[in-house]
Every structure is written in C-alpha cells, then in structure tokens.
Structure 1
Amino acid sequence: MPELKTPDSLETQSCQVILSVLYQLNLNHENNVAMSSERRQFILDCLQPSLRQRLISMITYSLNQDLNVTCKLLDYLFDSGIPHLDLITRRFSSFYFPADQVPTVYRLLSRGDPTSLEKLCIGIHLDHSEEGDWEDEEKETICWYSGVKRKEESVSKVLVYNSYFYPTLEKMKKLRHVVLHGVCDNQALSIIGQSCNLLQYLDITGSSDVTDVGIQNLVFPPAIQKAGRVNLVNTRARTNPSMKHICTVLARDTGVDVTGCIILLQFCPRQWI
C-alpha cells in the first residue's frame, strides 16, 4: 500500500494561489506600468513581511522561469522588510544569468530599498568567450594563486553595471551572507567592508575584476589605505568592523594573488579562505 502523502498546509496552498494569480496578471498586463505599481503597493500593504518572504523563496527556489519573469514577480513582493534574496539556489540546480541581465537584478534591488537584507546571492555565467581570444596581442597577466588569465586595461561589463549598484549596496548594512559570483569588484568590496559590520560569509567566486586591492579595501578602512602602503607585518593595524565577525571568504577564479591571501590570513584570524 503506497504511503499517504502529507497534504500541503493551508498557508502553502494560499501562497501557490497568490503566485498563480500574480503570474497570470503579469502576462495579461505586462506593459501596463501604472497598474503594476498599484498592484505592487496593494500587495505590500496587505501581506505581512514573513508571508512575502515565503512567497519570494517559493519564486526563487521552485519556479523555473527566466530572469525577467522572476524579477517581475519579485518586484511585487520585495521591499525593505525582506531579509533574504537568493537568486542562485534552485530545487534541482543552481541558476546563473548572463552578464547583460545584471541591470535587471540591480533595478529590483534598488526599487526594493533592501535595508533589512541579511542574505544576498546572485551570480552570472562564468563564460569568457565574449571577452575574445586570449591569444590577442593585448598583454596578459596570470594570477599566481588561481591561475586565471586577465587582459590588462580591459573594462568588463560588470564594472560598468556595478557603478549604478554602489548606492544600493551601501544601504545593506545588515548583510551577513553574501554570494556575488562573477559580479563583484574592488569598489564593491570596499563598500562591503565599510558598511556590512555583521558580515560572516563572503563568496566572490569567478569575479575576475577583484584583485589584491579589493581584499585590501575589504579589510582596511580608507584612513589606513590613504596613509600609504599597508604594512603586512603590523598585525595591530586597524581593520574594518566587519572583519571581527567574518568567518569565510571564497575567492576562487578571481584576480586575488598571494598578497591578498596574506592580508586575509594575517588580519582576519577567524576565517577560512
């Protein structure tokens, strides 16, 4: 005799109905900006943050929609009361989007005013084919630690997009768990180091725009950096408040070299790299 399947709770069934309605409304009124804004405000006023967080988790974890559809659904629910946004984890796999769609996610974050966000996970495809053949005449450098090749004086799309994201990132002062696969850079690390005093976990895997300078920005406040070259022997040098809590930094396939690793090991004794 087959085992009886436990029925979904009333709350789960209600969430599924709400998502179905939102999805249909989004399809039927996709270009009606005024109606979408009114609908968003109505949902934010009527649903408690805890229920909206559950709906967001269902959208990002269960639904297998493309990024544009996902962000449109999330826009109805995401505001300053939401603590978690994970755009990577899926039920059966991980989700990564093309670099050209980074602005779509940044617009969602900017509109939501994520001052209460504690967990943020986003990532792009780590595909270097668009950057051209590595055998071009431009000079290349190879990271000693990761073996990643980089073209000197090249400006990635991510750097351009991130310049519009910095003001939003500065508002995320409660971040504890941050995953930025392929989308982090040195300036973003500077903001995270100065603003996210509760940070415990940082994963910047595949962010080729991050170098040893970025690790220095993460660890030390601007006053120490402006004083000149950081003395790696002086273990009493003042660090950012976030370095008191951080336990894990993952920096695979980045431009971080041996100097960056020494800085992390020397001035952040609680963490694993």
Structure 2
Amino acid sequence: MHLDISESSPIGERFSLNNAADPDVGTNSVKNYHLSSSEHFALEIQTGRDGSKFADLILKKALDREQQPVHNLTLTAVDGGVPTRTGTASIIVRVLDVNDNAPSFEKDRYVVDVMENSPIGSLVIKLNATDLDEGSNSDIVYSYSLYTSERTQNMFNLNPENGEIRVKEMINYEDIKLYEMEIIVLAADKGAVSLSTPCNVVVRVEDVNDNQPEIEITSLSSRIPEDAPLGTVVALMGVTDLDSGVNGQVVCSVPGHLPFDLKPSPDGHQKNNTKQLDMISTPSQV
C-alpha cells in the first residue's frame, strides 16, 4: 500500500487501509490487525455491521519530511482459527513537502573588497542560499530589499537566479568608499506564502593610484631683491592628491641647481591629503 501524507497533517488524522481478505468464514476469518512499531503511526481497528474487521492508520506524531521523507510499515492481519494464520502487507508512507523551511545563508554578513578600477561585469561575490524543502518550495530567487539604496542597486547588478553580484557601473573610490546592501532571498512556491531570509553584503572599495597630485600656488613673490635674507618665503603652495593611504602621499622637490628649497609651512600640517609648503631661499646667493 502506498500513502502520500502531507507533513502538515494534524495529529489524529485518519487514513484508511485496504482490508485483508480471508476465504474462510466465522472464527477462521480475519479477527485482528497488528502494525509494526512506529513512533508516528498507530492502528485503530473498526468492526463493520457484518462483523468484518478493517483498520485505519492514525497519525500520532507530527511528520517532518526533512528528517524522514519515507516511512516503511508492516500491517499484519490475523485470523481466529487454530492454528492462527496471518498475512502481511507493506505500507509505504511518502511524506509530502510543505514550504516550512526558510532559505539560509552560510553567513548573515558578507564583507568583500573590490578595486575601484574593476571593469564592468566583474564578479564581486556569488551568494549561495540553500532550502531544505523540495520541488518548487526550494526554488531560490535573489532580490534587493527596500533597504538597499538606489545608488547601490545602480552600481551593482544582482542575478536573481544564481545570486551573483557583479559591477554594473565604474566604481570611484573618491566618490563612495563603502557600499552596503541587503539581499532578500525568497523561496518561491505555488502556495500563498513564501518564506524569505535576509543577508547583509558590505562592499569595500579599495583605492587605486588614479589621481595625480595637484599643486595650487596660494602666494607668490615674483620678484625678490638680491640681498634678501636666507629663509625668505618666495611662494606658498598646497599639494593635494585625492587618493588615499600611500597613494595619496606626495613628495615635493625643486631642481638642485636652483637656489631655492621647500619646507612645510609652520601652520601647514598635512590634512586631507593636502600638504602646505613654503618655497624659501637657500644658502646659495639669489
């Protein structure tokens, strides 16, 4: 006997079984049924008006397809003769899936580094969600949540089928250094309710040395007397590099044959990758 029973079936639900047939009559006919040991099912014997016996299978413990998708039982029919004769039948219970498991990620939060010069179409990360259900109940669909900014969605493309996140537009470290997105995974089934699980993806943009230093002359003495004392300030300038870290560090110098030198301004400490410098006269005569 083959029975298909939903894992959402309530405890106490009854399932009719086929009756055993015995050509004998009276006490030599079927008198009882026995069920093999099972923690999920029990047997209930009913007696018809003609005295015939038939059995119902009763669910006594909730089913879980993810733990045990198939239950194999043995039904034994016993007659009342002497000696007693028996007949057996196999009962195969297949547990039908319901969408009772939400998809899951290996992590709740993923952090990935991306170079700012990554070409369009570059793979950022491939998400992998799994669902313990089967069939359409385990079909995975990836999508952005409402908490993910439009700018981020325009910058990165999310494949709804395989969970790949790829670069959609050119990334500029100097514009945004950190993108944060929330990915919602839906287990789409044919029922009215789908289960979903969110995960957080943080994309850190790594700087590339793609900006050249810019020099701004803030003060300049185009003429100085030849007897100007050593250390006279000739020009005040600022040097800026939009890159960060070592890519934003600048080294300034003047040709060695010129009678000038560079030194930081007294109040020109480096700030925001801007270096304030004084050009001064050196021991060489001007």
What TM-score do you get using the length of structure 2 for normalisation? 0.18
Question: Between Structure 1 and Structure 2, whose CA radius of gyration is higher?
Answer: 2
* Bigger share in strand: 2
* Bigger share in helix: 1
What TM-score do you get using the length of structure 1 for normalisation? 0.18
